[in-house]
């Protein structure tokens, strides 16, 4: 998680909260993650394979 945080600029606290489903991810942060992993936001949301 720390590595992902460092590479994306997202806080480890936010990533932890998303993983534990205690808060929702913003659309801006979703785009950051999609770009980092080279996938679409729909893929991250489970809307496509």
Q: pLDDT, tens digit, for every residue of 1-49?
A: 899 999 999 999 999 999 999 999 999 999 999 999 999 999 999 999 8
CA atoms within 13 Å, Cβ hemisphere of 30: 12
**Nearest Cα to 31, choosing from 23, 40, 22?**
40
Q: Are 44 and 19 in contact (CB under 8 A)?
A: no
pLDDT at residue 1 in the model: 83
């Amino acid at each position: 998680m720390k590595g992902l945080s460092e590479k994306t600029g997202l806080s480890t606290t936010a990533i932890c909260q998303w993983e534990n489903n205690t808060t929702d991810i913003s659309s801006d942060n979703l785009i950051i993650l999609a770009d980092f992993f080279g996938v679409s936001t729909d893929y991250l949301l489970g809307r496509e394979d």
